[in-house]
Structures are given as C-alpha cells and as structure tokens.
C-alpha cells in the first residue's frame, strides 16, 4: 500500500501564524501525549500512520512553497511531489499517482490511499483506512471512500448518502451532496449520510488510466511539465461523483477539522504561548505570541490573541471563521518561513522615495545545514553573525565565520553558508527589487577541500 498526503491551503484561516508558506498544518502547537513537546498537524498525522503500523510509504503532494517546511518537519521520512502550480485536488492526486507509477515503479494493482494531512483524529481512523485497503484488495468497488459520522449539521462538508451493504463494514454509495445548507444537511443526516472526509482508496492503475486521458507522457518529468493540461477541479467532482463503482467505509470515532482558531484552541494544552503576561482574571482566552515583544492581556474573555511577524490578531472566538475573509485582503509577503535549513523572519522593510529598498531578516541555520551556492542580480547583502559558528563560501573562497563577523556580498557574487553549530545572523538586503525569485543557484560540494 502507498499513502498520498495532500498538503495545500493558502494559510489564511489561522492568520497571522499561518501564511502562504506556512499553512495551518505546519504550526507546531499541538501537545504530544506524555510530553511537554509540541508538534504540527502534519507531524501528528505521520506519527499516527507509523504507530498504526499501516506499513506504507508516505508521499506528500504539495505546493513548491511548502516543500521546505515538509522537509524541515518530516525530514527524509516521506517522498515529496511538488505541483508546478495550484490546480485543486484532482490534478494533485494524478501527479502523485504518476510519480508512484513512473518514479517508484509501483505496479498497477498497488493499493493507494489518499488522505488530507491535517485531520485531528484517533487510532480508529487509521483502522478504517486498513479496512478500506482490504475492500480494494477484495475488489468490492473501484473506489472506496471514508464516511465520517456527522456530529452536527454542517454546511462546510460534502455528504455521502449510503445505499445497500456490500459487506460487513462497507456500503454502496447512493449519491453525493456537496456542501448543502444547514436544513438540507439535517435531512441528509436523517437519511444516514456521512461527511465526506476526503479519504479515498483505489488501485494505482485505476487513477493513472484516468490521468492519461488528460496528460499522457512516458516520463514523470514530462507529465509534470504539462501539469497545466489537467483540469482545475476537485477529485470529488472529477472522479468520485462520476465513478460507476464506488463504496464507503464508515468511521464513527472522534474527528475534527482544526481549521479555525476556535476549533484549534480547544485542543491546546496551555492558554498562553511565548512572551505573554496575563492577570489571571481572563476567561477562555488563548494568547500565542511568536514575537520578542511582550503581549499583555487583562480581564479578557473568549478571545484568541495571536502575534507573529505577519501581524497581530485579536478576535472573539465565535468570530474566528471570519478571519479568512479579512486576511485574504492583506497582500503582503510572508514575514516568517520555515526552510529545510532552518527558518527566517523579516524584521523590517522600507522603500525610499527613489524606489531604493532595504529588507532586514534574521535567519537561523540548524547545525550541519547549509544554504545553497547562489548569486543575486538585483541586490547587495550584508550579513552580520550574532551567534554560532559556520563556514562561508564567497566566490569559491571558503572562510570560517562566527559571532561578531560581518560580510558584504555584492550583486553577482556567488556565496554559500554552512552551520557548524546553530548559526544566527542578520541579513540586510538593499536594491531596487527585493524578491525571493532573485536567486540563481549553482552546484557546490562542502566535502571538497
């Protein structure tokens, strides 16, 4: 069996901690049972997959902007397939399936399970995935879905109406209803309908044959180059609702979508995180502060207060579903990003009257990690090292760097950096165009003397 995790999202529902580069599934806020450590949603799901002993390699289908976060949080424990552009779940699943077929050489009859990377759930969820696998192996249907027992009539989810039993734990799908209004949802629940949990199981060949109707090339690289030829549509609309042979396996355990601050804070162990001062009279208020400056809350009730380099949020918990509508109007670059080598946060940005700009970042490289050998066309940089030790390469000349050192890097100069210990430095970019795309990379081997 192979598992495909879908990792997408624009990162605005949990603003300001989430952004386009750090969607909600990467926020390390969830408590780890039996420990004071915290983990992200994607870390939790992968851990649960391993603990359930599903014995399946995991492939994450994601946007290019999220690749570094996945590597940073999951390391080499998963395969990664990046979409050249965001085109919804159908093309994402097609691309990941073609990767399994053409890069991993999985056979056509291999069972594939597709699931979201961020459900907050329990062991029974993964036992249900095992049942779905058995249904595919026993040819109960071409496509098997997980149906989640609804806990209330919600307009946020699609519904699966079951038909006749096809086995002890599986039912034929009678029809789908996509995100109905609440009165319709109430009637569907009375009919025994399930929430569509976005979990699908099928044989690999079933999906690759569908994919090849739109993009048919002999290599995975060619398929990825023609990714835009796939229709921009959800897997539910394009495959599940058109399938001639489709069944559902119910899951009746605990399942939550931690998609808003209101639902996420219900699962947090503590009410305050970071540099926070409270007077002890507040009621049901959660404060998460990623900034160095203090946040003080006195007498607050039923609020979520979140502060990050991207901004500061103060919201009634009951209104947290409205955050996305307002956050989507804020067209700013991400001010914090997690990368495979560590992380950075933007400290300051200024543009002068003559269009000259200056951008200041604080970056931290993890021990043993490195920034690629690169050059910039539009900016100069000044690096001031404030903690740790490392090695710098500047136009092929290698030198040690440590706290107190300052290096100037001009346009066109090739440079790379490796951390020996945890290495923190301040980077000041200056020029007329300061964008993340102003980078050209070159091969470099740190092993060479």
Rounded to an integer, what distance in angstroms lies between the CA atom of residue 123 and that of residue 67? 27
Strands 2-7 and 58-63 turn out to be parallel
Rounded to an integer, what distance in angstroms lies between the CA atom of residue 401 and that of residue 234? 50
Q: Could you tell me if 18 and 335 are in contact, meaning their C-beta atoms sit under 8 angstroms apart?
A: no
The 10s digit of each residue's pLDDT in 344-379 is 999 999 999 999 999 999 999 999 999 999 999 999
Q: Which two tokens stand for residue 389?
A: 């030790």
Coil, helix or strand for 277? strand
The pLDDT of residue 321 is 86
Q: How many CB atoms lie within 10 A of CB 387?
A: 13
Rounded to an integer, what distance in angstroms lies between the CA atom of residue 415 and that of residue 417? 7
The pLDDT of residue 448 is 66
> Can you list the alpha helix ranges (DSSP code H) found in 182-274?
182-190, 204-211, 220-225, 235-238, 261-265
> Can you list the alpha helix ranges (DSSP code H) found in 303-438?
323-327
- What parts of the chain have a pLDDT lower than 50? 449
The pLDDT of residue 10 is 67
Coil, helix or strand for 311? strand
Q: Which two tokens stand for residue 7?
A: 């990792």
The residues, any chain, with a CB within 8 Å of residue 239's CB and separated by 6 or more, are 90, 143, 200, 207, 210
Nearest to 431 by CA among 329, 326, 351: 351
Query: What domains, with CATH codes, occur in the chain?
Result: 2-257 (3.90.550.10), 269-327 (no CATH), 341-442 (2.60.120.10)
User: Residue-wise over 53-81: b if at least 16 C-beta within 10 A, else e?
Assistant: ebebebbbbbbebbbbbbbbbbeebbbbb
Q: Which two tokens stand for residue 399?
A: 């030198």
The structure's pTM equals 0.88
Q: Could you tell me if 223 and 103 are in contact, meaning their C-beta atoms sit under 8 angstroms apart?
A: no
Q: Which two tokens stand for residue 130?
A: 């095992």
Q: How many CB atoms lie within 10 A of CB 425?
A: 26
The pLDDT of residue 121 is 96
The pLDDT of residue 1 is 96
Rounded to an integer, what distance in angstroms lies between the CA atom of residue 389 and that of residue 416? 14
Q: How many CB atoms lie within 10 A of CB 250?
A: 19
């Amino acid at each position: 069996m192979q598992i495909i995790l879908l990792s997408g999202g624009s990162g605005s529902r949990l603003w300001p901690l989430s952004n386009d580069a750090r969607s909600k599934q990467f926020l390390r806020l969830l408590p780890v049972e039996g420990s004071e450590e915290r983990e992200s949603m994607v870390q939790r799901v992968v851990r649960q997959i391993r603990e359930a002993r599903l014995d399946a390699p995991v492939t994450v289908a994601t946007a290019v902007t999220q690749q570094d976060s996945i590597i940073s949080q999951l390391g080499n424990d998963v395969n990664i397939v990046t979409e050249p552009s965001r085109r919804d779940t159908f093309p994402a699943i097609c691309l990941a399936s073609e990767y399994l077929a053409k890069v991993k050489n999985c056979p056509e009859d291999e069972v594939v399970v597709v699931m979201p990377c961020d459900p907050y759930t329990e062991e029974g969820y993964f036992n249900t995935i095992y049942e779905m696998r058995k249904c595919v192996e026993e040819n109960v249907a071409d496509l098997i879905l997980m149906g989640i027992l609804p806990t209330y009539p919600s307009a946020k989810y699609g519904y699966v109406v079951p038909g006749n039993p096809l086995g002890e734990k599986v039912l034929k799908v009678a029809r789908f209803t996509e995100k109905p209004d609440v009165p319709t949802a109430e009637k569907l629940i009375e009919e025994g309908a399930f929430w569509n949990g976005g979990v699908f199981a099928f044989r690999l060949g079933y999906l690759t044959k569908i994919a090849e109707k739109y993009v048919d090339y002999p290599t995975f690289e060619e398929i990825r180059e023609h990714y835009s030829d796939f229709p921009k549509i959800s897997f539910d609309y394009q495959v599940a609702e058109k399938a001639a042979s489709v069944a559902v396996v119910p899951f009746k355990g605990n399942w939550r979508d931690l998609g808003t601050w209101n639902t996420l804070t219900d699962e947090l162990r503590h009410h305050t995180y970071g540099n926070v001062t409270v007077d002890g009279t507040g009621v049901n208020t959660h404060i998460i502060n990623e900034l160095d400056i203090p946040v003080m809350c006195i007498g607050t009730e039923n609020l979520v207060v979140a502060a990050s380099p991207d901004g500061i949020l103060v919201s009634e918990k009951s209104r947290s579903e409205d955050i996305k509508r307002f956050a989507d109007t804020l067209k700013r670059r991400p001010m914090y990003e997690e990368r495979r080598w560590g992380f950075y946060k933007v400290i300051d940005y200024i543009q002068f009257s003559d269009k000259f700009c200056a951008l200041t970042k604080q970056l931290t490289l993890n021990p043993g990690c490195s920034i690629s050998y690169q050059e910039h066309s539009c900016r100069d940089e000044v690096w001031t090292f404030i903690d740790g030790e490392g090695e710098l390469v500047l136009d092929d000349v290698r030198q040690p760097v440590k706290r107190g050192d300052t290096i100037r890097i001009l346009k066109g100069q090739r440079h790379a950096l490796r951390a020996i210990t945890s290495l923190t430095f301040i980077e000041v970019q200056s020029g007329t165009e300061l964008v993340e795309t102003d980078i050209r990379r070159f091969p470099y081997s740190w092993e060479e003397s």
